[in-house]
């Protein structure tokens, strides 16, 4: 159970990216976060694992206050929260396998990992995760030799190495073409359904929301505009979320 | 109307600008003593030609010379019965004919030579009878057919006996040989290249870790509570002192072992094994829940023992290198430099261990202090608030006193205790102010502070020319290439740390964020997200810097820093321009080769 209370983020320049956002995510849910670009989706997701420090508000996860965690506690929290990014964020010059193993950095002993030594079980697991997303043969390629869709699968494998309870996906398919988008979303769906991982996924297209999400929250200029089932987004709600001029297509 | 006004103002501005530029350049000419008349004067131009001609003929190769002397008798004045020299016996050999063969003093005679070595030259001398001296009559140049002609004035040396006219010519024999200048130049240019290599290596090794401190994107997230910072300021100097002490103890233990060679060797083999197993036990590869306190304590103890053994191992290793190096030096004869290198490595290790242990213990204390301070500040009770203020005061005072001690080291104040008291007071007040400025739970951006300090130091160091640094090092370690390499190394550290850190700042933020999100700590983030991204630019900048260092090392000898510059300067001062020319050519060749290699390598890696 993830509980977000009155979350507010004001960036250094004075931009108020989030205003008093509160909602709860039960365990095992597939939650979509929608909103125009600049509405605060990335900021919200990054506040949850504190890649961005919230200005005000609380985030509880299983009754542990993430916003108040010490550095050491935060590492232990982060390693249970996988993250998938719009631009994949792989280390280009490193092999795919190393990128995937990086998902274990929160678990292994720092001293050994600094000299690139991982437990055997982790290495086996890395191959297994790569197999699961269908690119086991690419393990020893450099990450930047892969296509966009393949890179995103590496990104998912890396997140899965963390043995996560939550996955935060920040527009994971926004830079992929529609066919690839569905295959990536299916992986996330599988992780959600088979492994029971809670997924928070920001999305651009409503059809993806209808197809994959259990529930939707919508942001507009940092405020929570909608919280409910995908099918409950009617035309009025749509205009609230996307603005007066927006036209609904599809 | 308005438009006109502005155009008038603009022309006025341009006019004033031109006038200003005129003044600036006029003054510039005045202070740089521009003297056009001098450049045109006959005398100066001849000087210029002399140098240019000498430079065009570098003193690199020479020939063995064979000297020919051809003699012909002449009488001054003609005897009463005339003078007829003996006829030439062999007209296939070089010979000369004087016509007339006798004449009065201060009259001209005609000298003609045949069968000489073509295209040679030399003096034509008169050797007065039994005087043992040579009077030069003329310089002769032999033509393509081995023939010359000269009209010479006979000196006032009347005698009853015949004098001799001697033509001395030289010709090159055998194949060309390198001059001693060429050999010296080679020696020194090799020294120059290696000087640059050592300076670059040392500079790079130190600049790489430092560059991370000067990278804003890495440092801006480093924050700590004021409590943590105060504790660190108090504990880090203590850590340094303790580290030095630990190094001394370990050294003494290792000394006890080195009495016996067997003990030393077996000790240095056994200790790494012990350390390995100790660390394997104390650092399990992976743990899912935090260990119990007593397990933690045992691990900590094992790690301390392992560290101690490892330091002893390093000292033993340094001892072995020293001993074996010396033995090799004696045994290897001409290749003794290999042994001396091993010995010097041992010596360097010995010094470096001390520094590393001190820094290591200080770093350990620092991180311990940081954690402890963090934990204390998170308690948010009256104890933590009191500690927040009191420790800030103490840390402020301590820092000020340390700074004062450093200042005192330079200026040797007379009443130092009073100064310490003042500094401590001011520091305490500043600490108090800081503790009021920040709440005990606030995050102080100590990373940014460190960043600014590092940047400032690098910029200051970089602004001092390496030549100027070399002067200081020459005073310290004496004239020679060692001083030069240290000076260049210092300059390399400053400039590379800056260049490197700019590369760190321009890496992609995405992978950094992704690795952080997995729960990696700061060091892991650097190893997994930063280093892979900076390897190519680091290689390229290192090559670039080596290139610069080769250039610099060619002139660092001007101030006694070793390398070819020393030779070059000497020859210029002694007006041996042909020797200087050889050295300049050597520099040009080496620099262009370096230029080429570094550009090829850079292209390959970027
Ligand atoms: N690092 C930052 N500094 C200042 N403003 C930022 C920063 N990141 C995002 N913002 C601003 O915050 C708002 C929300 O951005 P973001 O969370 O990226 O929205 P989304 O992901 O929905 O496109 C935008 O107005 C953006 O300009
Ligand atoms: Mg975004």
pLDDT tens-digit readout, B340-358: 999 999 999 999 999 999 9
Q: Output the pLDDT for position B243.
A: 95
Mean pLDDT of the region B422-442 = 93
Question: Based on the domain organization, do B234 and B114 belong to the same domain?
Answer: no
Task: Say if B110 falls within a structural domain.
Answer: yes
Element spanning A6, H or E: strand A2-10
User: Quick one: which of A16, A2, A108, A115 has its CA closest to A56?
Assistant: A16
Q: Name the domain boundary from B335, B359, B378.
A: B378
pLDDT band of residue B487 (cuts 50, 70, 90) is: very high
Task: Say if B308 falls within a structural domain.
Answer: yes
Give dist(CA A157, CA A174) in Å, integer. 18
Q: Output the pLDDT for position B120.
A: 87
Q: Is B93 exposed, middle or buried (0-12, 13-18, 19+ CB in 10 A)?
A: exposed
| Order of strands, sheet of B108-114, starting from the edge strand that comes earlier in the sequence | B95-99, B108-114, B148-153
Task: Say if B279 falls within a structural domain.
Answer: yes
Q: Name the domain boundary from B378, B407, B426.
A: B378
Is residue B3 over pLDDT 70? no
Q: Which mutation among A10, A33, A38 tests ligand 1's pocket best, with the greatest number of atoms within 8 A of CB? A: A38
Question: Based on the domain organization, do B26 and B91 belong to the same domain?
Answer: no
Residue with tokens 């982790």: A122
| Interval B556-573: pLDDT, tens | 999 988 889 999 999 999
Can you state the angle between helices B564-573 and B577-605, rounded to 10 degrees? 150
Question: Based on the domain organization, do B266 and B315 belong to the same domain?
Answer: yes
> What is the tally of structural domains in chain B?
4
Mean pLDDT of the region B183-190 = 92
Taking CB atoms and an 8 Å cutoff, what residues of chain A touch B517? 49, 51, 78, 81-83
Q: Output the pLDDT for position B221.
A: 86
CATH no. for residue B152? Answer: 2.60.40
| Order of strands, sheet of B135-141, starting from the edge strand that comes earlier in the sequence | B61-74, B163-178, B121-127, B135-141
Task: Say if B295 falls within a structural domain.
Answer: yes
Is residue B181 over pLDDT 60? yes
pLDDT band of residue B227 (cuts 50, 70, 90) is: very high
Q: Output the pLDDT for position A119.
A: 92
Residues of chain A with pLDDT under 70: 248-250
Give dist(CA A58, CA A68) in Å, integer. 8
Closest-CA residue of B relative to A74 is B519
| Interval B441-463: pLDDT, tens | 888 898 999 999 999 999 999 99
Q: Please give the share of chain B, as a percent, with pLDDT higher than 90.
A: 59
Q: Output the pLDDT for position B51.
A: 87
Q: Output the pLDDT for position B263.
A: 85
Question: Based on the domain organization, do B153 and B167 belong to the same domain?
Answer: yes
Q: Which two tokens stand for residue B581?
A: 């020319």
A135 φ/ψ angles, rounded to the nearest 5 degrees: -135, 40
Question: Based on the domain organization, do B191 and B280 belong to the same domain?
Answer: no
Question: Based on the domain organization, do B138 and B241 belong to the same domain?
Answer: no
Question: Based on the domain organization, do B145 and B189 belong to the same domain?
Answer: no
Element spanning B126, H or E: strand B121-127
Question: Based on the domain organization, do B153 and B184 belong to the same domain?
Answer: no
Task: Say if B45 falls within a structural domain.
Answer: no
Question: Based on the domain organization, do B488 and B572 belong to the same domain?
Answer: yes
> Which of A113, A159, A162, A170 is the best residue to mutate to test the B interface, defined by the most B CB atoms within 10 Å of its own CB?
A113
Which residue puts its alpha carbon closest to atom 1 of ligand 1? A11
Taking CB atoms and an 8 Å cutoff, what residues of chain A touch B527? 113-114
The total of other beta-carbon atoms located within 10 Å of residue B291's CB is 12
DSSP-derived secondary structure for B25-38: HHHHHHHTT--HHH
Task: Say if B232 falls within a structural domain.
Answer: yes
The total of other beta-carbon atoms located within 10 Å of residue B215's CB is 25
CA A244, distance to chain mean position in Å, is 29
CATH no. for residue B561? Answer: 1.10.3720.10
pLDDT band of residue B477 (cuts 50, 70, 90) is: very high
Residues comprising chain B, all counted? 606
Task: Say if B428 falls within a structural domain.
Answer: no
Domain that holds residue B154: 63-178
Question: Based on the domain organization, do B134 and B232 belong to the same domain?
Answer: no
Ligand 1 atom at shortest distance from the alpha carbon of A41: 22
Question: Based on the domain organization, do B196 and B275 belong to the same domain?
Answer: no
Is residue B213 over pLDDT 90? yes
DSSP secondary-structure letter at B286? Answer: B
Give dist(CA B201, CA B540) in Å, integer. 14
Task: Say if B54 falls within a structural domain.
Answer: no
Element spanning B566, H or E: helix B564-573
A103 and chain B in contact, CB less than 8 A = yes
Which residue puts its alpha carbon closest to atom 8 of ligand 1? A43
Strands A81-84, A166-170: pairing kind: parallel
pLDDT band of residue B332 (cuts 50, 70, 90) is: confident
pLDDT band of residue B150 (cuts 50, 70, 90) is: very high
Tell me which residue in B279, B513, B519 faces A79 most closely, judged by beta carbons. B519
Q: What residues of chain B, 487 to 516, have a C-beta less than 8 Å from chain A? A: 508, 510-511, 513-516
SS3 category, A118? coil
Question: Based on the domain organization, do B254 and B188 belong to the same domain?
Answer: no
Which residue puts its alpha carbon closest to atom 26 of ligand 1? A38
């Amino acid at each position: 159970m993830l509980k977000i209370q009155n979350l507010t983020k004001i960036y250094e320049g004075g931009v108020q990216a989030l205003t008093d956002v509160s909602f709860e995510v039960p365990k095992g849910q597939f939650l979509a976060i929608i909103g125009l670009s600049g509405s605060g989706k990335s900021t919200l997701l990054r506040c949850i694992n504190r890649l961005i420090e919230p200005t005000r508000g609380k985030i509880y996860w299983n009754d542990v206050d993430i916003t108040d965690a010490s550095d050491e506690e935060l590492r232990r929290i982060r390693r249970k929260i996988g993250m998938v990014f719009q631009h994949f964020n792989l280390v280009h010059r490193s092999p795919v396998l190393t990128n995937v193993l990086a998902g274990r950095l929160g678990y292994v002993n720092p001293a050994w990992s600094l000299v690139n030594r991982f437990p055997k079980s982790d290495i086996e697991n890395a191959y297994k995760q790569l197999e699961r997303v269908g690119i086991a043969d690419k393990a020893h390629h450099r990450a930047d030799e892969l296509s966009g869709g393949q890179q995103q699968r590496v990104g998912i494998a890396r997140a899965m190495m963390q043995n996560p309870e939550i996955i935060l996906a920040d527009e994971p398919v926004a830079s992929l073409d529609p066919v690839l988008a569905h295959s990536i979303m299916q992986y996330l769906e599988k992780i959600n359904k088979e492994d029971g991982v809670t997924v928070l996924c920001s999305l651009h297209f409503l059809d993806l929301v209808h197809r994959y999400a259990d529930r939707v929250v919508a942001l507009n200029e940092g405020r929570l505009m909608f919280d409910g089932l995908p099918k409950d987004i009617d035309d009025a709600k749509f205009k609230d979320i996307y603005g007066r001029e927006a036209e609904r297509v599809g | 109307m308005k438009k006109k006004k502005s155009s008038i103002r603009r022309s006025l501005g341009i006019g004033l600008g031109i006038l200003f530029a005129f003044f600036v350049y006029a003054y510039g000419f005045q202070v740089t003593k521009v003297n056009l008349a001098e450049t045109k004067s006959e005398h100066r131009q001849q000087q210029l030609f002399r140098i240019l001609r000498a430079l065009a003929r570098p003193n690199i190769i020479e020939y063995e010379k064979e000297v020919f002397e051809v003699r012909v008798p002449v009488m001054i004045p003609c005897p009463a019965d005339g003078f007829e020299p003996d006829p030439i016996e062999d007209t296939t050999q070089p010979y000369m004919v004087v016509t007339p063969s006798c004449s009065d003093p201060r009259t001209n005679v005609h000298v003609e030579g045949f069968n000489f070595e073509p295209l040679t030259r030399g003096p034509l001398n008169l050797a007065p009878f039994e005087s043992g001296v040579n009077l030069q009559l003329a310089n002769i140049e032999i033509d393509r057919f081995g023939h010359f002609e000269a009209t010479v004035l006979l000196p006032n040396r009347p005698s009853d006996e015949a004098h001799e006219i001697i033509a001395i010519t030289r010709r090159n024999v055998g194949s060309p040989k390198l001059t001693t200048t060429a050999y010296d130049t080679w020696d020194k240019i090799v020294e120059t290249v290696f000087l640059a290599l050592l300076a670059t290596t040392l500079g790079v090794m130190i600049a790489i870790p430092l560059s991370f401190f000067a990278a804003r994107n890495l440092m801006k997230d480093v924050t700590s509570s004021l409590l943590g910072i105060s504790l660190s300021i108090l504990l880090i100097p203590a850590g340094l002192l303790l580290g030095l002490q630990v190094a001394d103890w370990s050294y003494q233990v290792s000394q006890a072992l080195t009495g016996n060679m067997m003990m030393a060797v077996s000790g240095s083999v056994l200790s790494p094994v012990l350390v390995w197993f100790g660390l394997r036990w104390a650092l399990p590869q992976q743990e899912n829940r935090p260990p119990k306190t007593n397990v933690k304590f045992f691990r900590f103890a094992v790690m301390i023992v392992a560290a101690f053994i490892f330091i002893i191992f390093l000292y033993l290793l340094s001892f072995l290198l020293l001993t074996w190096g010396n033995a090799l030096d004696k045994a290897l004869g001409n290749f003794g430099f290999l042994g001396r290198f091993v010995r010097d490595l041992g010596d360097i290790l010995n010094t470096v261990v001390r520094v590393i242990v001190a820094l290591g213990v200080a770093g350990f204390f620092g991180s311990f202090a940081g954690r402890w301070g963090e934990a204390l500040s998170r308690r948010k009770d009256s104890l933590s608030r009191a500690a927040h203020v009191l420790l800030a005061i103490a840390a402020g005072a301590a820092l000020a006193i340390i700074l004062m001690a450093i200042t005192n080291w330079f200026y040797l104040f007379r009443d130092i205790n009073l100064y310490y008291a003042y500094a401590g007071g001011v520091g305490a007040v500043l600490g108090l102010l800081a503790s009021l400025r920040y709440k005990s739970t606030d995050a102080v951006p100590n990373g940014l502070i460190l960043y600014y300090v590092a940047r400032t130091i690098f910029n200051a160091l970089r602004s001092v020319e390496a030549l100027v640094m070399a002067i200081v090092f020459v005073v310290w370690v004496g004239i020679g290439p060692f001083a030069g390499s240290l000076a260049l190394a210092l300059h390399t550290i400053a400039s590379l740390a800056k260049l490197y850190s700019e590369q760190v700042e321009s890496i992609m933020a995405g992978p950094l964020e992704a690795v952080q999100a997995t729960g990696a700590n700061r060091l892991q983030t650097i190893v997994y997200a930063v280093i892979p991204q900076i390897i190519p630019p680091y290689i390229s900048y290192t090559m670039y810097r080596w290139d610069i260092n080769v250039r610099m090392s060619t002139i660092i000898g001007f101030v006694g820093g070793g390398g070819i510059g020393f030779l070059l300067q000497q020859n210029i001062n002694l007006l041996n321009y042909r020797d200087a020319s050889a050295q300049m050519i050597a520099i040009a060749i080496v620099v262009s080769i370096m230029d080429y290699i570094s550009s090829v390598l850079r292209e390959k890696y970027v």
